[in-house]
Every structure is written in structure tokens, then in C-alpha cells.
Amino acid sequence: MPKLTLRELDLSGTRVFLRADLNAPLDRGVVSDDTRLAAVVPTITHILGAGGSVVLASHLGRPKGGPDPKYSLRPIAERLEVLLGRPLPLASDCVGPVTAAQAQALGPGEILLLENLRFHPEEEANDDGFAKTLAALAACYVNDAFAAAHRAHASIAAITRYLQPAAAGLLMEAELEALGRILEAPARPVAAVLGGAKVSDKLMLVENLLTRVDALLIGGGMAYTFLRALGHDVGRSLLEPDRIEMARRVLESGRRHGTQIVLPVDAVVADGVDSPSGRAVGIREIPARQMGLDIGPRTVERFAAALKPARTIVWNGPLGVFEKTPFAEGTLGVARAVATSAAFSVIGGGDTVAAVRRAGVEGKIGYISTAGGAFLEFLEGRALPGVDALTDAPR
């Protein structure tokens, strides 16, 4: 069922509780990557421009059950002030009489940032009473935190029992539209590129995609379990012995469904991730004492050829240890292939996004998701509490 969106609300004179994902990385107390902050700016600007006021809420990191200065949203407020071009006061807490008075004093076009929601353990417990207290700070609810939508937390799920309507923000709307386009009515052929370390992390995703895509390209550390399932020796490459039989079942299921499963034909090997260089060898030639740390050049060509006819591409997970220069070229090469494809492409996951940016092709990707876990769970076909809690759109 489509969800009510921010665009459908009359916001004039309305105080909006806006749940965002401002969980940005910090370096010595300064935001080092403001991607997630910039992503919520259009929603904030829309609400303020429509005559509403904003009670902005987020978590940051994983504080252990109480306030911790290390996880204060102060650096977030300072960076958001720059992005918004206006002052952004930070409340000393997210609940309590002082915070409630600050929220109630907001006039049209004004904004208040609440302190870290996770300073209260009731947030992650999806506590009903805590959610009710948060709900009392505003007159309607907007969720723009797709990256946290897979969490059944008080500010994401329980709050909507007490604060209606509950609408999708502009970022949430864009995420749902892009990912829904992949799962519900994709232009075919559809290709999925999966990387990352472990098969076990993406088992549900692989199984769900097998019946939805025309080609499944598998790289990264997870590829070696599939290669071992085919009888290849993989040296000291990352391997999950307890998943080999599952990999065989996936390969057989792909054959039954007519899904093309594309695996590496060569790899860049070395003694370890800190080796100053690597060399490309065929999959049958991986030395017993070395490990595969990237897909090789022939695999890049093979993946690019498999992607060329695609009209929809989804990609999650790097195809090698791309943070290390000797083992980056495979991931970067595939990023260029995705970017030059005529397909509508969607990528998600922090490492994948970082790789696309490193390749310099960010502007040629159809949609870049801000989410990691939620992105995967959505593609796995799971219900997301943060999406389910939103008000259904009028028929």
C-alpha cells in the first residue's frame, strides 16, 4: 500500500516531529561525512517553507544506556547549521519539561534539534510511554530516516500510535520509489551485483533476488564459498565451510529459474590485505598460501559484459578489499561499468557508495541509497517497521 507523503500535508502553522537519520561519522568532534545530513535538508526546507516548524530527532552511535558527551548531537547541529544556512538550537535532552517548553515555543519557520534519542534506553526498546512523550512535542509526524526504518524503535514505530498523520519525508519517498521500482515493476533485463565478505550476511537477499533478476553477479569474499561449491581450491581466501552446501543449492536454484549466475574467473591474490601489491591469476590457479582480495581484470570484463544488456541494475557490496589500493581496481572497474550502462541503477551500502565516489561516477548512478541494513532488508522482501508504521495514502 502506498504511504502518505509530506507533499500531501497542509503544514501551515503545524509543528512537525521529523525523525531523520543524522548518524554521521565524526572525527575529533567534527562531522567527517555529511551525506546523511545533506540528504534531509530538502525535507526540512520544505516544512519550514510551508509555514511549519520542525522538532528534529535522531540517534547517533551506540551510547550505553545514558547520556554520553561523546555521542552528543552538538557536532551534528553545527554542521547542519551550515547546510541549512540558519541557526539550529540543540535541546539538552529529547524529553522532559524544558525540552517540551522549547518545542511548544516554536513558531512557523523555526526548528529545534533534540539531543540523542539513544541517551534513553526506552528508544531502542520501542517503549510505549517514551513514544507518547515524544509524540506530545508535535502535531504530526514525518519520517525521513529510511536508513533506520528496519528498527522498531520508539521514535520510528511506537510514536505513530499517538501522532497522526505519519507521513514519509522527501528522502523516504525517494528511497521507497527507487527500491520499489526494482522489486515491483523493473525494466528488464534486471541484473544484481552482490559483494561483501560473507554469504551468511546476504543469504536471504540472494534467495529473494534469484526469482526476481535475470543475472546475479557475485564477487567479494562471498564469491569464494560459491567457487568452493564448484570444486575450486581457493587457497587462504575467505571461506564459510558451513555455507558451501547452501551455495550449491543457490547455484542449482539459479539453473532451475533460468537466472544467470556470474562468478569470478580470475582474482587478484596476495599474502594478505597489507601486502603492497597483488597479481591476477585464474580461479584454478590460486596459490595454497595466498588469498583472493579482488576480482581480476578478466572478471571485470565478464561482469561488464553481463551488465551491458541490463535495463535495471542493483548493487550492494564491494567486490574486493577496495580500501587498499592494490585491491581496488575490480570494484572501481565494475562501478564504471554500472555508470556507463543504459540501465536504471540503484546502489546501497556505505562501502559501495564510497567505491562509486572513488571511481568518480557518482553522478552517473540512477539512485544512491543512504541506507545499509534497511536497503538490504527491503530487497530481501522483509517488512520494515518504519515504513509499515506510516499512514497509508488515500485511495
Active site residues: 36, 198, 350, 373
- Facing residues of 31 across strands? 26
Q: Roughly how many angstroms between the first and final C-alpha of the chain, as a whole number?
A: 9
Dig out the grid coordinates for 341 from the structure.
Answer: 550502462
Smallest CA-to-CA distance from 157 within 348, 383, 373, 5 is with 383
Q: Determine whether 364 is exposed, middle or buried from the number of CB atoms within 10 Å of its CB (0-12, 13-18, 19+).
A: middle
Residue 304: partners with Cβ closer than 8 Å, 6 or more residues away: 333, 334, 337
- What CA–CA distances, in Å, run from 115 to 23, 71, 131, 218? 12, 9, 15, 41
Per the CB < 8 A criterion, the answer to whether 291 and 323 are in contact is no
C-alpha 145/C-alpha 180 separation (Å) is 17
Does residue 165 have a cis bond before it (omega within 30 degrees)? Answer: yes
Indicate the helix (H) or strand (E) that contains 293. strand 291-295
Q: Where are the alpha helices (DSSP H) in 170-317?
A: 170-183, 203-210, 223-229, 244-257, 297-307
User: Which residue in the block uniquely carries the three cell numbers 530481501?
Assistant: 380
